[in-house]
Amino acid sequence: MFYDKDCNKLLLKNKIITVIGYGSQGHAQAQNLKDSGIETYVCLKNNSKNIEKVQKDGFKVIDINEAVLKSDILVILIPDEDQRDLYYDYIEKNIKEGKTIIFSHGFNIHYKQIIPKNNLNIILVAPKAPGHTVRSTFCEGSGVPSLIAIYQDYNKKSFEIALSYSMCIGSGRVGIISTSFKEETETDLFGEQSVLCGGISSLIICGFETLVEAGYSPDLSYFECLHEMKLIVDLIYEGGIKNMRYSISNTAEYGDYYVMNEYYYNIFKKKMKKILKNIQNGNFSKNFILDKKSNFIKLNIFREYYSNHLIENVGKNIRKMFNWKHKKIIN
């Protein structure tokens, strides 16, 4: 684990950094860099709807050709599925020897969608939180942990640059962890699919459907299977699973162990090993890339189906009835 004391901020002081993209991670990392005193530009498409916002945030907007020519460090923060075209259409032919490219996810490098020129520094700096949290914690004087990795170290200073960059986006305040592109990519995809997104979503929807199909109220089914999820996750976040189990009733704790041992554990482990294998052998990435080439036919079908699921309509109506006391209602 590395912290601010291990980082040399001066390494970036005379560097020109361009952040490509101004989405979740793009806006956060760019603003944190600027507030850390680093000369930072933002690269957007000429017709981007974010141009005015970026300018209001105090950045000069440049196009990709200017970014490649003038920047010491390019930070590619557009969606994974668009990075290959960006690299081969604009970057590879024009980028100069010794320049640095930073990614925040190892997908395109690890799965060989981008095979960079061997005279570049290729670095990973992956904050472990959504962009709005990267920004809000920085503004509070804290930060989120980041993973760093080096794929190519042409100038023999890539690790120090990764530390310095991480410091400037706030991660040195809480912790920076060294890893590899392979490990970051595969564990990130696995965590998203098996637990954080796919796992939780599947549990919530299956639980909701099971209760509703058994004749229970959709409203109460929503509360039991979705609404209370945050309360449990907060307890786990604060002190681990042990803290959550300490905080719940004996009935809930006994039910936790009972169901885990009798029903879930062995089944989930078998399924998760298949999920991990599918990531390791490249099958998931191939399917994702193929769907992108077909304009995300499968992705859009899934989005349409699940956005109209009963649990979404029930939740929308319930959330409107809560007394949020001036908090914004999320539909």
DSSP state at residue 225? I
In this prediction, residue 324 carries a pLDDT of: 59
Q: According to the annotation, is 25 in a ligand binding site?
A: yes
The torsion angle over the Cα atoms of residues 24, 27, 32 and 33, rounded to 10 degrees, is 120
In this prediction, residue 267 carries a pLDDT of: 94
In DSSP terms, 74 is beta-bridged to: 18, 101
Among the residues of the chain, which ranges form H helices? 24-35, 51-56, 64-70, 80-86, 107-110, 131-139, 158-168, 181-190, 198-213, 218-222, 229-247, 250-259, 265-280, 283-293, 297-307, 310-321
Using alpha carbons, select from 201, 217, 203, 218 the residue that is nearest to residue 313: 218
What CATH number belongs to 4-179? 3.40.50.720
Q: According to the annotation, is 228 in a ligand binding site?
A: yes
Q: Counting beta carbons within 10 angstroms of the beta carbon of residue 148, is it exposed (0 to 12), middle (13 to 18) or buried (19 or more)? A: buried
Query: Is residue 105 annotated as a catalytic residue, yes or no?
Result: yes
In this prediction, residue 47 carries a pLDDT of: 87
Cα–Cα distance for residue pair 260/36, rounded to 1 Å: 47
CA distances from 275 to 38, 199, 296 (A): 41, 11, 21
In the chain, domain spans: 4-179, 192-321
Is 192-321 in CATH node 1.10.3720.10? no
In this prediction, residue 141 carries a pLDDT of: 96
- CB-facing half-sphere around the CA of 311: CA atoms within 13 A: 23
Q: According to the annotation, is 180 in a ligand binding site?
A: no
Q: What is the pTM of this model?
A: 0.90
Q: According to the annotation, is 249 in a ligand binding site?
A: yes
In this prediction, residue 331 carries a pLDDT of: 47
Q: According to the annotation, is 224 in a ligand binding site?
A: yes
Which of 105, 110, 132, 326 is catalytic? The answer is: 105
In this prediction, residue 326 carries a pLDDT of: 47
Cα–Cα distance for residue pair 175/49, rounded to 1 Å: 35
Q: According to the annotation, is 192 in a ligand binding site?
A: yes
Q: Counting beta carbons within 10 angstroms of the beta carbon of residue 230, is it exposed (0 to 12), middle (13 to 18) or buried (19 or more)? A: exposed
Q: Counting beta carbons within 10 angstroms of the beta carbon of residue 228, is it exposed (0 to 12), middle (13 to 18) or buried (19 or more)? A: exposed
| Residue numbers in the chain where pLDDT is lower than 70 | 324-331
Going across the sheet that includes 146-152, the strands are 61-62, 40-43, 17-20, 73-76, 100-103, 121-127, 146-152, 176-178
pLDDT tens-digit readout, 91-137: 999 999 999 999 999 999 999 999 999 999 999 999 999 999 999 99
Determine contact, residues 104/25, Cβ cutoff 8 Å. yes
Determine contact, residues 63/46, Cβ cutoff 8 Å. yes
pLDDT tens-digit readout, 3-47: 999 999 899 988 999 999 999 999 999 999 999 999 999 999 988
